Amino acid sequence: MRAIVIALRSLSREWRYGELAVLLLSLSVAVGALTGVGFLVDRINRSIALQASEVLAADIRVQSPRPLSADNEPMARQLGLRTARLTTLLSAVFHGDVNQLTNIRMVTDGYPLRGTVTVADTPFAPGTVTRQIPAPGQAWADSKLAAALGVKIGDNITVGARELRLDRILISRPDQGSAFQEFSASLLMNEADLASTQLIQPASQVRHALLIAGERPQLNAFRDWHAQQAGQRERMADVSEDSPQIGDATRRAGRFLGLASLVAILLCAVAVAMSARSYVRRHLDAVALMKTLGASRAFVLTVSVTQLLLLALAATALGSVMGWITQSWLISALQGLLRTDLPPAGLQPMLIGLLVAVAMLAGFALPSLLQMTRVPALRVLRRDVGPPTPGAWAAVTPAVVAVIVVVYGTLGDAVLSGWFVGALAAATLILGGAGWGLVSFTAHSRGGSGVAWRYGIASLARRRVESVTQIVAFGLGIMLLLVLATLRRDLVTDWRASIPANIPNYFFVNIPSGEQEEFRARLTAQGGKVERMLPMVRGRLVTINDRDAHAVSSSGGPAGPDDGPPQRGGMADREQNLTWSSELGDDNRIVAGQWWQPGDEGKPLVSLATEFQEELGLKLGDRLGFDIAGERITVTVASFREVKWDSFKPNFFIVFPPGLLDGAAGTYMTSALFEPSSPGEMTDFVRRFPTVSVFDVGSLLAQVRSMIDKAVTAVQSVFVFTLLAGLTVLLAAVQASRDERSYETAVLRVLGAQRGMIVRSVLTEFSALGLLAGTLAASGAAFGGFMLARQLELNYRFNLTFWLLGVLGTVAIVGFTGWVATRSVLNHPPRSALS
Amino acid sequence: MTRDIVLKAENITREVSSPEGLLTIVRDVSFHIESRETVAIVGPSGAGKSTLLAMLAGLDLPTSGRISLAGQDLTTLDEDGRARLRAEKVGFVFQSFHLIPSLTALENVMLPLELAGRSDARQLSADMLARVGLASRTGHYPRQLSGGEQQRVALARASVSRPAVLFADEPTGNLDMATGERITQLLFELNADSSTTLVLVTHDRSIATRCGRVLTMENGGLR
């Protein structure tokens, strides 16, 4: 307790000596980098959990293409759960002569069980929340449908054999995803009208769903009960099993940003170690005195550890504020990629920040403090007596353990952590070696250019270890920022410029069968350059070599008698777009097997894109069974194709020979280079073909570019912490050399040096440091850009202006910071430093 | 009247290794000091005075021989044990004051009392600072005080816990003559007030003569 009182009292007084301020700053930057990423990932994760239940519009959704078991709903209700039914199908909706292919959704009272529906009186207006559903005989069309049909509230529309009155405009519903089908228009109506539409026919593509919501124990009870029902083939989607794709993406993004923040954290750890060493050096006398006055080793240690823990707490608070600001900035930088209404973050990232701060102190500061407590009391009489030299293991082991704890704790993956530490160690060694060489070289070039220059360079060379440490710290931070800037400025721009001007800029999907030639003719007449027109049917891969495809792909087992490469699920789980074609486009290249030969027409063969082959581990001769609109066909893999997707021409993973699926023709798709002469031209065109969905490639590309831009901005924001960490290392180094600098400045002043000369020598020292760090960083970034360009198969051009900016920018930052950090030393009167 | 023996050195020798080989700094020294005695250790530079003082106060251990302080054999105690004994029985005044720069004058004086767990540290320390004439400087930091004032704070710190033995190492060595004289006066007054045993190392003959006994060292031994 006494130790804590003394620790508290002296903490504020210690402030003016600077080491604690640098310690606090280093820890805060580390915590800021960590929590900035932590808060963001936490908010996204919470949003995913929330979104998942909204996407389902329920906690659990039981669905099937067949009518659901009649036992489900009574069981759910018996368990005290809320339920609603949802039946969906794709069909045309008519108003007079106009029709539109529509996703028709028939619901019962209570829909949606999670999330909200908003409605309005006019299309594209802001919606208001409603808790109701359309009454029988009424329907709510979404804005797209209303616009396409040209209807307003009160008009009648025809759905199958039933006429309904348009009652509201549907602005949003929770279960509107971004899946392909959802691009179509949608209509919400009451399930009571289902039978009278007569839309449910034996071959119609209808999906039945039971929505369930309630408390988790009851939901689990329902799940268990449902799983035990014999012979049930109903699929269950549960919000508790978060969407694996979104979850994985967040985890990956989180890890990537985590890696970026780790660089900053470890650099800060270097600053912590430097500050701790200089703190200890200054406290040796005081500790010897305390021991002379009767303090035990434990007491001295308690005082220091208490101060450090208080610092860790303060740094967590300060760092978390920095982290919070950072994540707000990241969210605004990632606008468009993330929802704007993310739920607030929890406190867990702060707690992790505190743990990391404590781990950094334990690994990088505690060994020095333990050493300090071993200083003998005799030092009060003999200043040459210091603490015994620690063993190499005792000094290094805690730091190594702390690095492992911090890295593994942040990444949560042993292999990735190993790679990261290895790569960082290699980069540090290379930068350190190069830095050492440059400092040595510079040291030899100090003659002949005046006292200030000579003295500045001599300072740089004399504190060689500190100089190289600063060069590595700055070099690493600035290099990472420059690599990303290169990526954004050069590579992405180059990539966009590399796309030829005459490639298609529009995709057209859902062109009705029979209208494809008219569509082509009209578009060509309006100046469009139309590419090949391919039929498109939906189908699901159901068997691979006569075994259940889902079981084969999800078990990771072999697709056939011979073991193939490891397999993953996905391709076998979802409906695919299928096509047939006699021609092999010039953007396709056969890499195995043969394209259709004369006489292959109508034969049960298939040609697959290499991506599909790789995902399912298929080989030539494998037999694939497809379910196409309820019909089963089995085909043999005849060839694999490498597809140049960026030709922006219609392409499919799965292509059959002509003559095999002719009866199943659904719709057609194509792409075209088309420059509408007026904005209304495309609208008129779409109105002529209302079922056709149009995708503007130009805007999609712009979207991709903006996404890359945003992602790079986010990573760069995290790397700004690396730069800050470099600054803390510089401050720590200046702090450590403070007494020495005061003394040297005083001697120079006593010998008659003008203040200007001393300032020039300091500027020389730090500018030279910045020059060396900047040269290394800019050259490393150029090399990194070259490697990245090779990896991405892009052309890399060395940009001298960019290189020079990198070097000069670093000189300016390091020179200025060094001058600011040493200013107080320069202002020290010579008498006080020498007394 | 016999007085208690507070400090006893028996055949103590201190050797250190140096580039020239083993160096004997204190050679086979024996003596004892009784309670409330005032003893000066004098001798030329390099005679081993400070090393002897360090061993007597338990800051250093002899290579051979035994030292007992207030009945405790220092050579059998570990570092923390000796620290505890110093907290209870010893006060110290140094040539270069050795105040903790981050603590105020009052806090510097409070330190030994706080280390000994005294709850009345603040009041006792304020009284002691008043006693040495620094009542108006309690909130000042060492750097805001003159050399004489700093040594008065150090004297107050050494005396405030009423130690059994007060050690002083060249207490006026860093002060001008007039200030040194005032400090010496104060040192002996405080010692008389608290009936403390005083052991001081000095070059200054005038201080030595004010002590009850003078031990003269030469080449590591007592003359």
The residue type at A658: P
CA distance B114 to chain A (A): 7
Higher pLDDT, A532 or A185: A532
Q: Is A85 helix (H, G, I), strand (E, B) or coil?
A: strand
Which pLDDT band, with edges at 50, 70 and 90, does A270 fall under? confident
Q: Give the range of the structural domain holding residue A177, as residue numbers without chain letter.
A: 59-238
One-letter amino acid at B12 equals I
Cβ of B92 within 8 Å of Cβ of A10? The answer is no
Q: Tell me: the pLDDT tens digits for B64-119?
A: 999 999 999 999 998 888 888 888 898 889 888 888 777 789 988 988 888 777 88
Check CB contact under 8 Å for A298 and B57.
Answer: no
HEC letters along A663-697:
HHCCEEEEEEECCCCCHHHHHHHHHHCCCCEEEEH
DSSP E strands, B19-155: 21-34, 38-42, 64-69, 72-73, 90-93
Place of tokens 């020239």: B20
Count the neighbouring beta carbons within 10 Å of the beta carbon of residue A1. 7
What DSSP assignment string belongs to A27-65? HHHHHHHHHHHHHHHHHHHHHHHHHHHHHHTSSEEEEES
Distance CA B92, CA A290 (A): 11
What local confidence, expressed as pLDDT, does residue A405 receive?
A: 85
Contact B115 A377 (CB under 8 A): no
Distance between start and end Cα atoms, chain B: 27
Whether chain B has a CB inside 8 Å of the CB on A739: the answer is no
Rounded Cα gap, residues A802 and A786, in angstroms: 14
Residues A375, A389: Cα–Cα separation, whole Å = 10
Give the end of a domain, one of A168, A203, A238: A238
Distances (CA, A) of A814 to A637, A810, B15: 63, 6, 51
A565 class by beta-carbon count within 10 Å (0-12 exposed, 13-18 middle, 19+ buried): middle
Q: Structure tokens of A209?
A: 């769903």
Cα–Cα dist A419/A803, whole Å: 29
Residue A665 has pLDDT above 50, yes or no: yes
Number of domains present in the structure of chain A: 4
Q: Does B4 touch chain A (CB under 8 A)?
A: no
pLDDT tens digits along A64-79: 877 888 889 999 999 9
Instruction: Report yes or no: A831 at the B interface, CB cutoff 8 Å.
Output: no
Q: State the pLDDT at residue A180.
A: 31
CA A187, CA A95: separation in Å to the nearest integer? Answer: 13
Residue B141 has pLDDT above 90, yes or no: no
Predicted-complex ipTM score = 0.75
- CB–CB contact A294 B116 (8 Å): yes
How is B154-174 classified by DSSP, letter by letter? HHHHHHTT--SEEEEESTTTT
Q: Judge whether A683 lies within some domain.
A: no
My answer on whether A272 and A361 are in the same domain is yes
Torsion of CA A730, A733, A738, A741, to 10 degrees: -90
Distance from first CA to last CA of chain A, Å, rounded? 37
Q: Residue A83: what are its φ and ψ, rounded to 5°?
A: -135, 160
Strands (E), A674-773: 693-696
Residue A201 banded pLDDT, cuts 50, 70, 90: low
Using a CB-CB cut-off of 8 Å, the residues of chain B touching A299 are: 115
Tokens of A350: 């702060």
In a domain, A690, yes or no: no
Mutate to test the interface with B, among A1, A14, A17, A293 (most CBs of B within 10 A): A293
Find, in chain A, the residue whose alpha carbon is nearest to that of B169: A381
A78 and A223 in a single domain? The answer is yes
From chain A, the residues in CB contact with B157 under 8 A are 293
Answer whether residue A686 is part of any domain: no
- Residue A181's pLDDT is 35
Do residues A50 and A66 both lie within one domain?
Answer: no
Extract the tokens encoding A766.
């730090």
Contacts across the A-B interface (CB distance below 8 Å): 84
Distance from CA of A381 to the nearest CA of B (A): 7
Instruction: Kindly report, residue by residue over A157-183, the tens digit of the pLDDT.
Output: 988 788 999 999 988 787 764 323 344
- Where do the DSSP E strands lie in A194-312? 206-213, 235-238
**Hey, are the CB atoms on B102 and A381 less than 8 Å from each other?**
no
Residues of B in contact with A378 (CB under 8 A): 54, 59-60
Look up residue A238 and give its two tokens. Answer: 């549960």
On average, the pLDDT of chain B sits at 89
- Cβ atoms of residues A190 and A135 within 8 Å: yes
CA distances from B73 to A818, B7, B60, B62, B67 (A): 54, 10, 13, 12, 6
- Flag the least confident range among A10-14, A108-112, A159-163, A449-453: A449-453
Closest partner residue to A9 (CB to CB) among B57, B107, B141 is B107
**Residue A608: C-alpha distances to residues A327, A605, A619, A627, B155 (Å):** 43, 10, 10, 17, 94
B92 touches chain A (CB under 8 A): yes
Fold of the domain built from segment(s) B5-215: Rossmann fold (3.40.50)
Report percent pLDDT > 90 for chain A: 15
Q: Which chain B residues are Cβ-neighbours of A20 within 8 angstroms?
A: none
Q: What is the pLDDT of residues B111-140, one digit of tens each?
A: 888 877 788 889 999 999 999 999 999 989
> Any alpha helices (H) in A57-126, and if so which ranges?
72-78
* Cβ distance of B112 and A5 shorter than 8 Å: no
User: Across the interface, which of B115, B141, B169 has its CB nearest the CB of A294?
Assistant: B115
Least confident of A373-377, A487-491, A501-505, A773-777: A487-491
Q: What is the maximum alpha-carbon separation in chain B?
A: 53
Q: Is the pLDDT of residue A793 over 70?
A: no
A379: buried, middle or exposed (CB in 10 Å: 19+, 13-18, 0-12)?
buried
User: Residue B102 and residue A294: Cβ atoms within 8 Å?
Assistant: no
Structure tokens at B43: 């001798």
A286 to chain B: which residues are within 8 Å by CB? Answer: 100-102
Q: Chain-wide mean pLDDT for chain A?
A: 80
CA pair distance A221, A230, nearest whole angstrom: 16
Measure the CA–CA gap between A380 and A490, rounded to whole angstroms: 63
- Using the Cβ of B59 and the Cβ atoms of chain A, whether some distance falls under 8 Å is answered with yes
* Spatial separation of the C-alpha atoms in residues A224 and A210, rounded to whole Å: 16
A679 domain residue, yes or no: no
Burial (0-12, 13-18, 19+ Cβ within 10 Å), A296: buried
List of E strands, A610-731: 623-628, 631-643, 654-656, 667-673, 693-696
Angle between helices A366-373 and A348-364 (to 10 degrees): 40
Give the confidence band of A554 by pLDDT, cuts at 50, 70, 90: low
- Per-residue pLDDT tens digits for A747-766: 677 666 677 778 888 888 88
Question: Closest approach of chain B CAs to the CA of A276, in angstroms?
Answer: 17
Percent of chain A with pLDDT over 70: 82
Q: What is the pLDDT of residue A318?
A: 94
A680 part of a folded domain: no
Count of residues for chain B? 223
| Residue A691 forms part of a structural domain | no
Say yes or no: A66 contacts chain B, CB-CB below 8 A: no
Residue A487: both structure tokens together: 């990526």
Task: Note whether B124 contacts A: Cβ–Cβ < 8 A.
Answer: no
- Judge if A13 and A70 occupy the same domain: no
Q: Verify whether the Cβ–Cβ distance A381 to B50 is below 8 Å.
A: yes
A592 and A732 belong to one structural domain: no
Residues A78 and A188 in one domain: yes
Residues A383 and A300 in one domain: yes
- Verify whether the Cβ–Cβ distance B100 to A295 is below 8 Å: no
**How far apart, in Å, are the Cα atoms of A229 and each of A70, A236, A688?**
12, 13, 50
**Chain B residues lying within 8 Å of A376, measured CB to CB:** 59-60, 79
Interface of A with B in 670-709 (CB under 8 A): none
A285 touches chain B (CB under 8 A): yes
Closest Cα in chain B, distance from residue A3 (Å): 8
Q: Do A381 and B111 touch (CB under 8 A)?
A: no
pLDDT band of residue A106 (cuts 50, 70, 90) is: very high
Question: Closest Cα of chain B to A217: distance in Å?
Answer: 57
The secondary structure element, H or E, covering residue A460 is helix A451-462
**Do A621 and A746 share a structural domain?**
no
- For position A322, what pLDDT does the model report? 93
Lowest mean pLDDT, pick from A371-375, A572-576, A583-587, B36-40:
A572-576
| Residue A11 located in a structural domain | yes
pTM over 0.80: no
Same domain, A256 and A345: yes
Q: In what order do the strands lie in the sheet with B72-73?
A: B21-34, B5-18, B64-69, B72-73
Are B100 and A297 an interchain contact pair (Cβ–Cβ within 8 Å)?
A: no
Does any CB of chain B come closer than 8 Å to the CB of residue A1? no
Is the pLDDT at B34 greater than 90? The verdict is yes
Q: Containing H/E element for B11?
A: strand B5-18
Distance of alpha carbon A167 from alpha carbon A266, whole angstroms: 62
> In whole angstroms, what separates CA A105 from the centre of its chain?
34
Helical axes A464-486 vs A244-292, angle rounded to 10°: 160
Interface check B61 vs A, CB under 8 A? no
DSSP B21-54: EEEEEEEEEEEEEETT-EEEEE-STTSSHHHHHH
Separation of alpha carbons A60 and A214, rounded Å: 9
**Chain B, nearest residue to A380 by Cα:** B98
Residue of B54, B107, B141 lying closest to A378 (CB–CB)? B54
User: Are A460 and A356 contained in the same domain?
Assistant: no
Rounded to whole angstroms, the Cα distance separating A121 from A199 reads 28
- A8 has a chain B CB within 8 A of its CB: no
Q: pLDDT-derived band of residue A563, with 50, 70 and 90 as boundaries?
A: very low
Per-residue pLDDT band for A385 (boundaries 50, 70, 90) equals confident
Q: What is the mean pLDDT of residues B166-185?
A: 90
Tracing tokens 């040796």 back to the chain, one arrives at: A284
Mean pLDDT of B203-213: 90
Q: Which of A476-490, A593-607, A662-676 has the highest mean pLDDT?
A: A593-607
CA distance A724 to A476: 12
Tokens representing residue A324 in the block: 């919070």
Residue B184: predicted pLDDT: 92
- Measure in Å the smallest separation between the Cα of B1 and chain A Cα atoms: 32
**Per-residue model confidence (pLDDT) at position A540:** 82
Closest-CA residue to B159 (of B136, B129, B185): B129
The band of A308, judged by pLDDT with boundaries at 50, 70 and 90, is confident
A509-533 pLDDT tens trace:
778 788 888 889 988 888 888 888 8
| Domain presence at residue A139 | yes
Pair (A296, A320) in one structural domain: yes
- CB-based burial, A806-823: b 16+ in 10 Å, e otherwise: bbebbbebbbebbbebbe
Q: Do B60 and A17 touch (CB under 8 A)?
A: no
- Cβ of A792 under 8 Å from any chain B Cβ? no
pLDDT band for position A207 (50/70/90)? confident
Where does A527-622 show beta strands of DSSP type E? 529-530, 534-544, 547-548, 576-580, 588-593, 605-609
Which of B54, B86, B98 is opposite residue A294, by nearest beta carbon? B86
CA of residue A595 relative to chain centroid, distance: 40
Binary contact (A294, B83; C-beta < 8 A): yes
Q: What is the pLDDT of residue A541?
A: 87
Q: Which of A368, A387, A412 is the last residue of a domain?
A: A412
A799, two tokens = 């940009």
The answer on pLDDT for A50 being more than 50 is: yes
Of B86, B103, B169, the CB nearest to A10: B103
Summarize pLDDT for A128-149 with one digit per residue, the tens. Answer: 889 899 999 999 998 878 888 8
Mean pLDDT of B55-65: 91
pLDDT classification of A606: cutoffs 50, 70, 90: very high
pLDDT higher than threshold 60 for residue A261: yes
pLDDT digit string, tens, across residues A234-247:
778 776 554 444 45
pLDDT level of residue A565 (50, 70, 90 thresholds): very low
Residues A70 and A135 in one domain: yes
| The pLDDT value given to residue A442 | 80
CA-nearest residue to B61 within chain A is: A378
- Is residue B79 within 8 angstroms of chain A, CB to CB? yes
CB nearest A381 (choices: B103, B112, B169): B169
Instruction: Please name the member of B80, B114, B117 whose beta carbon is closest to the beta carbon of A297.
Output: B80
